[in-house]
Amino acid sequence: MNYTLRITSLMTLLLIGITHMHAIDYRILDHDQLAPYAQTINLQRVAFYSEYPYLFVCENAPEDEYFQVYLESSQTLMVGAFDEQELVGFIIGMPLKDYNVLPCGAREGELILARDTFKDIPVSFDDCYYMSEMCVVRDGYDRDAIANELFKRFEKAVQTHTTGYGYLCMMILELLQNHPMRPIDPVQRWVEREGVHLANNGYTHTDYTIVYEWPTLQQDGTVKMQKNPMNFWYKTIAARE
């Protein structure tokens, strides 16, 4: 009897998991609709980037300043993956020319200016729409399936809801395979699959790198400001006239 109950319970959990997968609802939000999700987005991005390879530690993130850049750009878009009303993943972005951000650990008022930072990218700066964050942090979901769906839907959203952008781009951190802090368990290395998802969705990897500095977890458990090289990926898309 107990064995039967255990089997029944296991089947119930499997069915619940399948139900979750079918319940994912993808929604496009513009800058006017983002404010209610600001706290959730900030918490999810900090959790996402705390994992390998970013090892980002930011206990006192200037959330208001960071998020304000999204609210101020009239062409900010987010595609969110929702389970009923719960946000479980998202891609958010804006025209690259609008992307100026106050990073965690920076001096007060110090902005990273996009036009200075990205001035030498291998595509037209003004024609580039920047995907600044891609986060899927929730356990119990097929993170790869959600990420791929987010990439596809975000590209379509940019083509449908913006004008004049011929490129999508993204910056990701790519560390060496033998990095001493790379987890042995592949499940714990999911964040580094950003490159896999970009390649699977037709993005071109370039040798162009930009160095960002952020509070980075070290092998001995300490945290220090560290310069991290970010690789530039891009994709040509059909711009809406």
CB 226 within 8 A of CB 216: yes
- The band of 17, judged by pLDDT with boundaries at 50, 70 and 90, is very low
Q: Which fold has domain 24-236?
A: Aminopeptidase (3.40.630)
Candidates 92, 133, 98, 94; CA nearest to 117 is 98
Rounded to whole angstroms, the Cα distance separating 196 from 203 reads 10
pLDDT value at residue 108: 54
CB 109 within 8 A of CB 148: no
Mean pLDDT value across the chain: 86
Residue 52 above 60 pLDDT?
A: yes
pLDDT value at residue 13: 40
Place of tokens 């319970």: 9
**Token pair listed for 228:** 């991290």
CB 134 within 8 A of CB 105: no
128-136 β-sheet, strand order: 24-30, 77-83, 86-95, 128-136, 167-173, 223-236, 204-217
Residue 233 above 80 pLDDT?
A: yes
% of the chain with per-residue pLDDT over 70: 84
pLDDT value at residue 176: 86
Q: pLDDT digit string (tens) for 169-178?
A: 999 999 888 8
% of the chain with per-residue pLDDT over 90: 63
pLDDT value at residue 105: 60
Q: Does residue 51 sit in helix, strand or coil?
A: coil
pLDDT value at residue 187: 83
Q: Which long-range contacts (CB under 8 A, 24 or more apart) does 105-109 make?
A: 105/58, 105/213, 105/214, 105/215, 105/225
Residue 56 above 50 pLDDT?
A: yes
Number of H helices, E strands in the chain: 6, 7
pLDDT value at residue 62: 55
Residue 50 above 70 pLDDT?
A: yes
More confident residue, 9 or 90: 90
Residue 207 above 90 pLDDT?
A: yes
pLDDT value at residue 133: 93
Residue 118 above 90 pLDDT?
A: yes
- Residue ranges per domain, the chain? 24-236
- The band of 10, judged by pLDDT with boundaries at 50, 70 and 90, is very low
Q: pLDDT digit string (tens) for 185-198?
A: 888 888 999 999 99
Mean pLDDT of 138-162: 93
Mean pLDDT of 111-136: 93
More confident residue, 185 or 95: 95
Rounded to whole angstroms, the Cα distance separating 238 from 66 reads 30
